[in-house]
């Protein structure tokens, strides 16, 4: 059971816009901690996709963007491309009992 909740799967056609939600609680996202997103291609390690306030590591296109409201955050992907098909994970900090890094359960994006 992941601390952050994501939908198991989303899909979209090439060129479309899709969003992936990430729901937390008052001890993580709701407490104002940033949400970070990772992309994991099959058989590879997760790659940091977006962090902080819409900051993208070098090489990540601006088709990827994030938003946050209350205890939830969302990753938006515009102009969907075949190479975007992957698993996506959200991550934040939790100030609960002991405080530590927490992840979502992951969302499989299928490009139709």
Partner 1 sequence: QLQLQESGPGLVRPSETLSLTCTVSGGSITSSNYDWGWIRQPPGKGLEYIGSIYYSGSTYYNPSLKSRVTMSVDPSKNQFALRLSSVTAADAAVYYCARCPPTSRDGFDVWGQGKMVSVSS
The answer to whether 103 and 6 have CB atoms below 8 angstroms apart is no
Number of residues that this document lists for the chain: 112
Q: How many residues bind partner 1 (CB under 8 A)?
A: 28
User: In whole angstroms, how close is the CB of 15 to partner 1 at the nearest point?
Assistant: 28
Smallest distance from partner 1 to CB 63, Å: 18
- Of 47, 60, 65, 74, which lies in the binding site for partner 1, with binding defined by CB under 8 A? 47
Closer to partner 1 by CB, 30 or 105: give it.
105
Contact in structure between 92 and 6 (CB atoms under 8 Å) = no
Q: How far is the CB of 30 from partner 1 (least distance, A)?
A: 14
Residues 6+ apart with CB under 8 A from 40: 46, 47, 86, 87, 88, 89, 106
Output b/e per residue, 24-45; b: 16+ Cβ within 10 A.
beebbbbeebbbbbbbbeeeee
Confirm or reject binding of residue 30 to partner 1 (CB under 8 A). Answer: no
E-assigned strand segments in 28-71: 36-40, 47-50, 64-69
Among 13, 82, 83, 97, binds partner 1 (CB under 8 A): 97
Site for partner 1 in 52-91 (CB under 8 A): 52-53, 57, 89, 91
Q: Which residues bind partner 1 (CB under 8 A)?
A: 2, 33-34, 36-38, 44-48, 51-53, 57, 89, 91-93, 97-98, 100-106
């Amino acid at each position: 059971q992941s601390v952050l909740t994501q939908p198991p799967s989303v899909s979209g056609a090439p060129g479309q816009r899709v969003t992936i939600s990430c729901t937390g609680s008052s001890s993580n996202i709701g407490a104002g901690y940033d949400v970070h997103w990772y992309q994991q291609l099959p058989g590879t390690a997760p790659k940091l996709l977006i962090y902080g306030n819409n900051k993208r590591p070098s090489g990540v296109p601006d088709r990827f963007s994030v938003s946050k409201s209350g205890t939830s955050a969302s990753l938006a992907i515009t102009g969907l491309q075949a190479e975007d098909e992957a698993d996506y994970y959200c991550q934040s900090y939790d100030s609960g009992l002991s405080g530590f890094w927490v992840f979502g359960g992951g969302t499989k994006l299928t490009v139709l």
